[in-house]
Structure 1
């Protein structure tokens, strides 16, 4: 079956007897949700959900440091990757030998398309359609802020880096009624203490990934902008664009209630 991935590449995918290796944690979780336990033969060391797969599936390295020879030895007939999360050179090397389907996601429309397309190429179109419907319903019914609050969403420390407007994180924030304090700053810009003091965001979200922010980091930011409310947040809920999206409305509703209290 000839399909077009989200990089507008032609990929020939077998119609049966799939041997899938997933190189992206959020897409691995999606494959599990679609019921592809038998078909998935390999995942990365960062594909921690579901726990049963993390414990039993063959791990083929990290998202940025794949074990190419190991992958070749496993003889996959479908590899599922992502433009941002995987290294271009490694993906291109694999694409010379195997069908590699690549996602490229910046917003909800592209996330829904990814779910739909992966459902189609893996023989799970109905399951994918039902999942998309459940996600959309959840967001339609989600509690939103009564008035916009500005948020600086931190993803890294030393240097400080935040989520800009060309990210899926930005889409999740604005979908819940937040305003990205760094709305015009590209993808993941570095920011300084002076910039934070000038912007004075209402809120600061310290994400659990990729940098694992902890309680000890709150005081560090609070000393720079003492008037802002600082919260630790689950990065998976803001950046995983697969089946995890079913859980996001409930998580955001709880976060909004916490902010109100």
Structure 2
């Protein structure tokens, strides 16, 4: 379901006082509703932002908001040069709350899938405004990034990227032939896990012409023995470079399943994990690359 930012301006007597009598109450406070329907009060626009979501960190810089970012996770990789001097706040699942509080952020950006609920609740309980996204489809990307851009007072800066993204989504849908390729996209091994229902990556592959075999198994990221996955008889197997760092060496695990079409026809493809799983600036390229890959079956997705 799509969502949009809800910003309700508060009366001036509830606005922030700047400390300068001549500028008192220059900025009114606002109540914002995030993608989970949570209300948070903040000053608009936030000037000190911490991002706990690698893909959203990249998006912030891509729309010219990098100068507001004061802290990121250890897994925030791009844009590498711009992130070099920023404080690192541990992982997405175990952020350093004390360091976050010490940075005095106006807003922390989190994601329902990337970050644990208990971390969001703990930060919120300490008085920090936390805005949570919940991107589970390609359509959610322009909708939720547009909402976040409004919260950040950056709707105009984000608009060109969002227009291009909506156009790419529409073009991909128009190009659909109706012929789908049975596909599996793994995200982990030992245990084996694949992209399943209600996920951004799964919806991306659907738009690009894949029939995701993992939808026959329970869960958003089904976990099963490799033999169970191979019984789904995929014609294409994707091994992304993250979150598990799949490489050409992992192809050996499929040798015992020589009768499976993807194995028999050598359609096991190592691909760019960021392109598959990071919504945002990469989505337009992802739609093109995976549409071509799925149509060809044997092409390799370009790594960064």
Bin for the TM-score computed over the shorter chain: over 0.9
Structure 2 residue 273 is the aligned partner of structure 1 residue 240: no
Equivalent residue runs for 1:1-261 within 5 Å: 1-16=30-45, 18-96=47-125, 97-142=127-172, 147-185=179-217, 186-226=219-259, 227-228=261-262, 229-256=267-294, 258-259=296-297
How far apart, in 2, do the equivalents of 1:44 and 1:22 lie?
7
Unaligned ranges ≥5, structure 2: 1-29, 300-304
Structure label with greater radius of gyration:
2
Listed as ranges, the gaps of 5+ residues in structure 1 are none
* TM-aligned CA deviation for residue 258 of structure 1: 4.9
Indicate the SS of the match to 2:37: coil
Which segment is superposed worse, 218-227 or 10-19?
Answer: 218-227
Query: How far apart are residue 191 of structure 1 and its match?
Result: 2.0
Q: Distance in 2 between matches of 1:43 and 1:53?
A: 11
Deviating above 6 A after TM superposition, structure 1's stretches of 4 or more consecutive aligned residues are: none
RCO higher in structure (CA 8 A, sep ≥6): 1
> What is the CA distance between 1:167 and its match in structure 2?
1.2
RMSD over aligned Cα atoms:
1.9
- Change beyond 3 A, Cα 1:258–1:6: same
Query: Displacement of 1:70 after TM fit?
Result: 0.7
Distance 2:201 2:183 in 1: 11
Q: Is the 8 A contact 2:187 2:240 kept in 1?
A: yes
Say whether the 8 Å CA contact 1:181–1:201 is kept in structure 2. yes
TM normalised by structure 1 equals 0.93
Distance between the aligned counterparts of 1:17 and 1:165, measured in 2?
34
Q: Indicate conservation of the 8 Å contact 1:165/1:187, yes or no.
A: yes
Give the Cα separation in 2 of the matches to 1:245 and 1:170.
13
1:209–1:235 CA contact under 8 A, matched in 2? yes
